[in-house]
Copies of this chain bind each other. A is one copy, B any other.
Amino acid sequence: MNPLAVRVAGVTFPSPLVLASGVMGLSASSLKRVADAGAGAVTTKSCGLEERKGHPCPTLLPFEHGLLNAIGLANPGVDEMAGEIAEFQARSSIPVIASIFGRTEAEFGEAAARLLARVRPALLEVNVSCPNVGSEFGQPFAADAAASARITGLVKARAGHVPVAVKLSLMCPSIAQVAKACAAAGADAITAINSVGPGMLIDPHVRRPILANQVGGLSGAAILPLAVRAVWDIARTVPLPIIGTGGVARPEDALQLILAGATAVGIGTGVYTGGLEVFGRINSFLADWLDREGLRSLDALRGAAHPARSQEAHHG
């Protein structure tokens, strides 16, 4: 048995590490490359009904502590992406997660239907939380538990047997309450968190926001503690598997998310800060860790930092 294998909503990932949506996610070939690097599942760029070119550049702005991104949901459209997914599936046995978004609640359902008419991904991920299209779409749906739940329901109604993960944002009073609403509406998994904010950086010489979109979602090392806490809160509140995402670049980062309650761990910005080797490096570390602790799977670590369990097993 592969000790790193995890199951998310009935789907087996050979490693808990998941390529997060929006990173190297536009083509079958780039997804394949990440799968070969050691990812246990790969997520496509979020796709909508129509092709979008996204915002002008700069769309991505690294700074010392993370990254701002305002790609603006550039994507070839679900129809095209269905072709890429099919090609990926022909070339790799790693599960592929298809990420979709809509400009309106109804569009989420349509996007799911259009995609699933052409291809059957291992999971569908519903991105209700993109923080960098506010000027165009208004607030992310994920700020509103009821809207997130309605979207979950609409997508579930079209998803048939394909399990549905809902991708949440921290930018709300309680992410756990939004997760609960989505769970009640039928979500099979929660992905948390999307990039945070959005944030802004200004060049003082030209006195302008640097991103063409002015603001962009904050990701990378800066948000790791926020992701750990989000996963912790969700794990306490809903019994769904969590794809914990945010700020993972080092092996210990992934371990923290698992101890907080994540079943799988998404990596986005870490592909930049840690290189594509990030997947292999964390896989080896986790395998060694299990070995050293005498564990045969990650099950015993999942959520192990929560008091109820940790008090039995570990004292200071």
Interface residues of A in 300-316 (CB under 8 A from B): 301, 304-305, 310, 313-314, 316
A66-B222, A207-B313, A226-B218 known; A202-B144 Cβ under 8 A: no
Cross-chain contact of A305 among B144, B208, B232 (Cβ < 8 A): B208
Contact at B201–A225, with CB atoms within 8 Å?
yes
Asked whether any CB of chain B lies closer than 8 Å to the CB of A200, the reply is: yes
C-alpha gap A294/B174 in the complex (Å): 47
Interface residues of A in 29-80 (CB under 8 A from B): 63-66, 68
Residue ID in chain B nearest A309 by CB atoms: B207
Cross-chain contact of A316 among B206, B209, B214, B225 (Cβ < 8 A): B206
Asked whether any CB of chain B lies closer than 8 Å to the CB of A221, the reply is: yes
A199-B229, A200-B229, A314-B206 known; A222-B256 Cβ under 8 A: no
A3 CB, min distance to chain B CBs, angstroms: 17
Asked whether any CB of chain B lies closer than 8 Å to the CB of A234, the reply is: no
What 0/1 pattern do residues 209 to 220 of A give for CB contact below 8 A with B?
Answer: 100001100100
Number of A positions contacting B (CB below 8 A)? 50
Chain B residues positioned under 8 Å from A204 (CB to CB) = 252, 255-256, 259, 289
Chain B residues positioned under 8 Å from A229 (CB to CB) = 197-200, 215
What 0/1 pattern do residues 191 to 203 of A give for CB contact below 8 A with B?
Answer: 0000011111110
Asked whether any CB of chain B lies closer than 8 Å to the CB of A139, the reply is: yes
C-alpha gap A310/B208 in the complex (Å): 7
Contact at A226–B206, with CB atoms within 8 Å?
no
Chain B residues positioned under 8 Å from A223 (CB to CB) = 222
A225 CB, min distance to chain B CBs, angstroms: 3
A222-B223, A316-B206 known; A228-B201 Cβ under 8 A: yes
Asked whether any CB of chain B lies closer than 8 Å to the CB of A8, the reply is: no
A291 CB, min distance to chain B CBs, angstroms: 15
C-alpha gap A223/B229 in the complex (Å): 16
Residue ID in chain B nearest A177 by CB atoms: B139
Asked whether any CB of chain B lies closer than 8 Å to the CB of A143, the reply is: yes
Contact at B256–A201, with CB atoms within 8 Å?
yes
Residue ID in chain B nearest A217 by CB atoms: B225
Contact at A228–B256, with CB atoms within 8 Å?
no
Chain B residues positioned under 8 Å from A196 (CB to CB) = 196, 226
Chain B residues positioned under 8 Å from A255 (CB to CB) = 204
Query: 5 A-B contacts, Cβ less than 8 Å apart?
Result: A66-B222, A171-B171, A199-B225, A202-B260, A207-B304
